[in-house]
Structure 1
Amino acid sequence: MPDMLIDYYKAIEDSSAKMLEAAKLKDWDGVVRYEGTCAVLIEQLRYQSQQQELAPEHRKEKARIMQRILRNDAQIRCLAEPWLAQFEHLFDGQPQMMH
């Protein structure tokens, strides 16, 4: 369990990097799994950030981590686009379900 806020950012970055690796391998189940891990960590970070503040000496590191997470996310999106387009074609011409 992370004990300082910066540890949550590091854990989210780690899951983000694993998502990217899974996307490179076209392991979409893995991508979804790590995305779930990221979502849980982000919720925990939101909660913890109400209880404590990020130490001033960690602010630059947080900015670097966030940039790496955004780069990972952009690469994952590029890798996923062909798969998503293929997935959408499965539903072309299908009657739309009403919910």
Structure 2
Amino acid sequence: MAEFLLSKCLDILFDRLLSSDLLKFARLEGIREELDKWRKTMTIIQRVLDDAEEQQRTEKTVKDWLDDLRDLFYDMEDLLDEFATEALHERKLMAGESQASASMMFL
């Protein structure tokens, strides 16, 4: 059961890491390289998960590790949500400034 949830969490995180809005925000904030490191690390984790899924049935330490990893994924998801929210806020501010500039031209 835990492996199913972890696979889904990992899929969600990959989708968010590759979203165009997040990549634009990361580039503007100078954190693009950090996100690339996360993506590479998550690729390695996916490979390890394949083996751990089998081992968790017989080894409690592996199950505990998978539980901790799931918690980490949730924390990463929260952080990526914050980035996405900030990116949306920045986009709205820029759109508002553009509209204000256009309105001033008509006055």
> For the superposition of Structure 1 and Structure 2, which TM-score range results when normalised by the shorter chain?
0.3 to 0.5
TM-score between both structures, scaled by the size of structure 1: 0.47
The structure carrying a bigger helix percent of its residues is: 2
Structure (1 or 2) with the larger CA radius of gyration: 2
